[in-house]
Amino acid sequence: MRICKFQIHTVTMGRAGTPGEETKGGDELRLSARDFPDLKDGDIVEIYHVEDEFSRLLLQVKNTSFRADVGHNTISVEDSIAKTFQLRAYQNVIVKPVPFKEVELNLLELTLKDQYFSRSDMWRNRNALVGSCAHLHKKLEFGCGRTTVHEMWAKGGRVACGTIGENTKIVYRSMTANVYIFIQMSVEMWEFDHYGDLYFEKSIKGFLTDLFKKWQKQQANHDVTIVMFSRTFYDADSLEEFPCKMREGLLRDYKDRFYEDFYRIVVQNEKYDDWTFALIKLKTIFHSYNKTVLNFHNHPGVQLPRAYNSSASEGNVLEVLNMGLNVFEKHTVDRSFERTGQMCVVITPSTGVFEVDRELLTLTKQKSIDYGIGNDLVFMGEQPLHVVPLFILHNKRNWKKSGIEEPVDYAIPNWLNYSYYTSKDADPHVFVPRIRIPEKVLAAIHNGTPLMEEPAPTEKMDTDVASTPNRRKNKNTGKLQGNRPRGGRRLSESAAGPVNFAQKFLLGESRTQVASGVEAVHGSFLLSSSLETANPLRPNATKILENKPLEQPLSDQQRKPTKSPNPRHQRSLINPLAPSKIPVKLTSNRRRWVDIFPTDTSGAAVQTHHFRGTSHSEDAQNTLSKSPASDGARDTESPSSRVRPLDDGDRVNSEPIRDGDGDEGSTIEEEVGVGGSDAAVKSPRRIKTNRAASDVRGSPALSTGIWGNEHKKTIGTKKSYVWGITGEMEWSPNMTTGVDWKALTIPASLPITTDYLPDRRAIQNDYLVSDYSVLPEEPDMSPVNHAQGDAQEPSRYYSRPLSLRELYEELMCQRLQQGFQLISGSKTYTVDADFRVSEKISRKSHLNTQSEQCFLSLGRVFHRIRMDLSNITVTRFTPRHPYRIPRIDYKYRFMVPDMNRYEVSWVTFSHERFEEFNWNYLDFCILTKGRGDYPLEHPQMKCWKGQYFVLPCSQSIIKKISDDQSNSRCDIWNLFDRSPEEYDAMCDGFMRVIEMCNRMKRVQRGRKVNPAKRQPAPSRVLSLLGRSTHLNAISSPDLHGSQSAPTKNPSPLAVQYTSLEAFKAASNSLGLEVPSPHGSPARTSGLSVMSPLQDILEAMKAPFENIVTFQKQTDLQPGFFLSYEAVEWVMENLGIPCSELASELFSRMITDRLIVHASGKRSFPFVCGFYLYNIVQPGETRHPIEMELEDCDIDFDQVWIECAIANPAKGRLRFLEDRTRELGLLKQDHGIMSAEAALDRNNPYPFSSKKSCLINVDMYYRGSNRLEWAVANYHSTFTPDCAFEIELKWLQASGPMFGELMQVWGRRCPSNGFHLIPVPGDPFALPSKASSDPLRMPIFVPLQCDRIIGIIKASLHVEEDPRVYQKLVHMQEAILHRFGFISLQENARRIDVMTNSREYVHVSGGMFAMIPAHDNSKELEQLVEDCNTLPLAGYWWAWNNCLTKKWRAANTGDEAFLDKMLADFRRFCSNDESRLEDLWSEYTLETPILQF
């Protein structure tokens, strides 16, 4: 300990630009080495003022902390840290070294914002943090990822600083998550609560307003979708009572009631700083919601059954959760790099009880747990006296059978997080009952009349309800015998219990006298009151017992059925009033989220929004301070437990908690027997921490020693409570629940660790075991590869093989990001020689003692990865009897923003089997980095995907439309009237874009245009060139030159023009001016098409031409050039009329071995575009790149992005222009025609096909210690009139680094005339696709023109002129072109417009349009029910939900621009100002139609 003078210094702002961030240019602590000679790198020092010992700071000493400029007996700390810990400058402080373990944290919470962290990134980040020191609000950087310290726990309390050790649990919370908020619009929403507020007002004005305020305070910026949903019942007995068009959306429940579910999207994928607009919109919709839904099908003259809204308990809560799960389970597709985490929030006026389907409940539970998605239920009603949430399972079997009264079967969803909201305006002195008393009881007490006397339930009946029966099986009949199952008593049996209990309670008898009656009360009283409604003041709220009069209890003979129709009756049922009496088996599902909770002093998980009147953890609860996210207008905590939260500007009073101050726990104190008797339940917390005996607190996995021999005693089956997410906390009726503001404000990601592992007996009996080995590649230490691999910029051809340690960690990363969890403590144990799972399945009896292993779990699937000295063994434990996964089809009515009616949609709820995933293939794909026999593009491979479009910039037109408020017309785009110079500029800009993607640096070539040489040749050139006018037969260049030589399928030019003399003769016959050898321009030294090829090549080498590059370029040989620039140069200087003739010239150079492809393959053809070629050096026998590729075992096109370029200003399209004008109509998709007409049809590679290339994600060398790669699938051909697609797929890449790479590409593209935007893989999300998003739907925009529709109807019904529909499609394309839409290249494969839909994207990237196919008319008629329009004549319009604010710029426009575009497009299609008829009149039926 040393007393020093305290000083403050500042450091340079880091990348995040916030104070207190660690950067390379500064440090947090500065001291003198001569004052602290014993300190070394990594030591921890404690700093505090002499007079203020309560405020203590912990910092870690680094090598950079020792500074020569620090004075004697002086220590300096960074300014923001000193302010946070109230350290004052120029005063004395005590500096004392402390042991690392004494101040180690139990739990550390980190927040993320505006970035994507996969679970593997979290694990790698956690490993980098181990051994460091953290304090509140500290900024941490790892690679390109940035996190902030939010909260820390140690010894059962919150602290302000501490050290991060191996046993520290790290929780990642996101401030930019994908949040779906569902609001249940049940009948209770129009009723009043105890304080006189509508439940809807309580939901919107109360809860949502408070939630958005907390988001704003925490600076959370979530991607939010708000959905209002409800269920409408119809009072009908048969389907014939409904009109035909109404029947397609009807469903039937287990009571044979007809119903429809309605969903309305209010806000979809939006990020707002101020959510006032959304709240106003919700209130506006509320006033008309009920009327709109109930009268949706009402039409004049149509008689319909009575419609009424359902109650909250009968609503579609599980259905709406599954719709959110269907979206979240595809989080790997259309991956956004701006958000992390997923959460569903359901706001309901219910009290917590729902009637659900058993199969749907099982499916929802398994999907929620397996995918690690947080589901939060927020109840507006009052919390009842029984356990919640409570699901009453549908009894479908004997609903209609009279005389058979079956018991109610309950389920307690412990995997759901729930909250009860109380308005901040509520009077705390007003008594709010948590139970509804029947009117008969209230009247009897008020009038003083005695109640009907009934015998109370016997003690045996209480035991049957609360305990597990001792069952035995009859060998002959197979029926279960023994005590009657719990919950089997009928309503009439326990009717006297509630009445007597309520009478005693209201008459003021002592609690001890009625406590025993609580357990005897069956759910018929308390549950029926909470099922009826959330409002006890409703007139019909207390008629449950009136409908079922009190009966005398049945005798044993009457109660005992002779034969049970349902086998479920024979098993024990859950008593919601005493769930703690039912111990259940502890499973991995119960422990999946346990590591996000801090632990109290006893080692049990703490859930801060659950409170007890009197509890065994009362002392711990009172000492817990609130979470920083939990402060607000009125929290649900008691005043005694409130502590002011710690914000960014707060000062912290903290004192590190030492190990000596804590208690010594034990492992599992006791086990709960299988019978579940009361004696077996002694401690409310089963699992406690033993930090001395195990590595992880509360770790059931270590109770069995990871299947080792550490524990010699026999350990029974582990049990837990049926209630609660962790299984540790005992439920009691005096427990109250508040709002979990932290989970709703900054939701936690699924923790990367868990603590459950099945024991040996379970593995032997319930699992199938298989294993395989993965052998890493031997590192290639050849001189070429080794030198290039160790360089600062390694060769792209050489891929360093993974080491044994890297492969071991990467296999763990792959399982973590697929949803597995690392079982805590398993990594630190080594396998001994006695390890055997089973004698039959054990393949090795002896394992190396130096091996390292880890266990991972996902549901009931467990993996063990073991690393030996030379190989890695993966052992898979899959269930012997897997669960049956139901497949549920669901229909619903749906309305999205900008839609004016509900449309029918459908979805399938199902779940994938993780035990059937091909892990063997994935592991070898990682080993080979997607090369060879294990490519990433495997149909069963679940990889991350992101799709991007490269679109031309149209900033001037977008600005004109946005700024011109007086003119609302948007059909001013002229995308296909570009000049040749504009086409040339776009192609040159695209060349620069590909250079950027290839990480090339070249001197830009200056264009020199000679307009005289751009005159179009006569149209008879088509016949002489041998080109067909059938556009669909035209295709683009071959990209696999090694498989097709240039002479294999020679073009007509190659056959006809075998010499330059023949070329001259053909040019003269075409009417083209061939330059004279003596009269050519000076800059080409007199060259012409008659000149020798060697002379032409020498002229290209001229430095002022900038065609051939001789400067050093990584991974290329000097003397390379781009084929598109070479073709341009030849056309400009030799007078060649089109690019095809110029390409033939270079093809002869390849034949004469003057040039060669940059890969060195002589058979590779010449392709006009971004293709690299080299000039063959004299005396060169083999190309150096070719030899290097052979050593690296990789192809050239696997590491370089090369694509053809179809410039309409240089190809054969110029010769088709005159003929196009003569036809007088629009061609089928002008953009596709332009591209195909500019390409040589004899090349076999089809247009719109894709190539693939490996991308180095760490392209700009940010210092990643991981081999990060991805696969880019891109179009093989670029044309200015079509969108160019780049699809990225990856497995082994960091989210922050990948996001930064895409942002760099996006920032650099606009300077080249293009902009890069993310797009969804399924832009329209039509329900006909099984993988479509159920919460997205396109908007149908019909062509509402009577004259056009009349002609089309007559043609389609009478079949007189089948050309009419084809003509209509052409006109629809003309409309899209006028509004700035360009075609997708995939439309080239959709030739038949009658059977294939055609898709388009706007040049701004903000919207998509589709022309539906004729054969899909039935589907359209189901989705669009407007009888006044023809569904065939119209468009599907969809928004780009991937275009977030981070990607918006001047080239994309804002939301006002997008709304203006849709509004004018609708006006055009509705024939506003006769624009639609004027366009149709341009293409009359007499005009000939070009057949394709």
* Predicted confidence band of residue 819 (pLDDT cuts 50, 70, 90): very high
Residues 243-277 pLDDT 10s: 888 888 899 998 889 999 999 999 999 999 999 99
Strand partners of residue 146: 141
Contacts of 556 (CB under 8 A, 6+ apart): none
DSSP E strands: which ranges in 192-257?
A: 223-235, 251-252
* Token output for 1362: 């089948």
Asked which of 805-819, 1121-1135, 1335-1349 is least confident by mean pLDDT, the reply is: 1335-1349
Q: How far apart are the first and last CA of the chain?
A: 90
Q: Whose structure tokens read 């080109």?
A: 1027
Strand bridging mode 417-420 / 374-379 = parallel
* Token output for 808: 């071991």
How far apart, in Å, are the Cα atoms of 823 and each of 248, 758, 1075? 49, 11, 78
* Predicted confidence band of residue 1229 (pLDDT cuts 50, 70, 90): low
Contacts of 2 (CB under 8 A, 6+ apart): 35, 36, 73, 94, 95, 96
Strand partners of residue 878: 768
Backbone angles phi, psi at 748, to 5 degrees: -90, 145
CA angle 179/184/187 to nearest 5° reads 170
Residues 966-1013 pLDDT 10s: 888 999 988 878 888 999 999 999 999 999 999 887 766 655 444 444
Of residues 1069 and 640, the one with the higher pLDDT is 1069
* Token output for 1277: 């051909």
Residues 738-793 pLDDT 10s: 999 999 999 999 999 998 888 888 888 899 999 999 988 765 544 444 433 344 55
DSSP E strands: which ranges in 1293-1423?
A: 1314-1319, 1339-1342, 1381-1384, 1398-1402, 1407-1411
Strand partners of residue 347: 183, 378
Strand partners of residue 1388: none
Asked which of 214-223, 420-429, 694-703 is least confident by mean pLDDT, the reply is: 694-703
Residues 580-619 pLDDT 10s: 777 777 888 888 998 999 988 887 888 888 877 543 334 4
Instruction: Give me the mean pLDDT over the 1032-1037 stretch.
Output: 32
Strand partners of residue 908: 889
Residue type, 936: L
What is the distance between the alpha carbons of residues 340 and 833, in angstroms, rounded to a whole number? 43
The reported pLDDT for the residue numbered 380 is: 94
Pair 865, 742: CB distance under 8 Å: no
Residue type, 694: S
Residues 1387-1435 pLDDT 10s: 877 766 667 888 999 999 999 999 988 664 444 454 444 444 444 578 9
How far apart, in Å, are the Cα atoms of 1491 and each of 364, 659, 1206, 1236? 52, 85, 24, 16
Sign of CA dihedral 680, 686, 688, 694: positive
- Helices (H), ranges, 1070-1212: 1093-1100, 1123-1134, 1139-1151, 1184-1192
pTM, to two decimals: 0.82
Asked which of 182-186, 703-707, 717-721 is least confident by mean pLDDT, the reply is: 703-707
Of residues 1339 and 299, the one with the higher pLDDT is 1339
The DSSP output letter for 607 is -
The reported pLDDT for the residue numbered 638 is: 34
The answer on pLDDT for 320 being more than 90 is yes
Asked which of 321-335, 925-939, 1078-1092 is least confident by mean pLDDT, the reply is: 1078-1092
What is the distance between the alpha carbons of residues 238 and 414, in angstroms, rounded to a whole number? 38
What is the distance between the alpha carbons of residues 99 and 553, in angstroms, rounded to a whole number? 69
Pair 1089, 1063: CB distance under 8 Å: yes
Share of the chain above pLDDT 90, in %: 40
What is the distance between the alpha carbons of residues 1236 and 1255, in angstroms, rounded to a whole number? 28
Strand bridging mode 2-9 / 417-420 = unpaired
- Helices (H), ranges, 1057-1106: 1060-1069, 1093-1100
* Token output for 1351: 């002609």
Instruction: Give me the mean pLDDT over the 221-236 stretch.
Output: 96
Of residues 1073 and 1434, the one with the higher pLDDT is 1434
Of residues 1417 and 64, the one with the higher pLDDT is 64
Asked which of 135-144, 719-728, 883-892, 1471-1480 is least confident by mean pLDDT, the reply is: 719-728
* Predicted confidence band of residue 937 (pLDDT cuts 50, 70, 90): confident
What is the distance between the alpha carbons of residues 1478 and 1476, in angstroms, rounded to a whole number? 5
The answer on pLDDT for 220 being more than 90 is yes
Instruction: Give me the mean pLDDT over the 88-101 stretch.
Output: 92
How far apart, in Å, are the Cα atoms of 177 and each of 340, 464, 1318? 5, 47, 18
The answer on pLDDT for 81 being more than 70 is yes
CA 256 to chain centre: 37
Residues 942-975 pLDDT 10s: 899 999 999 999 999 999 999 988 888 999 988 8
Instruction: Give me the mean pLDDT over the 66-71 stretch.
Output: 87
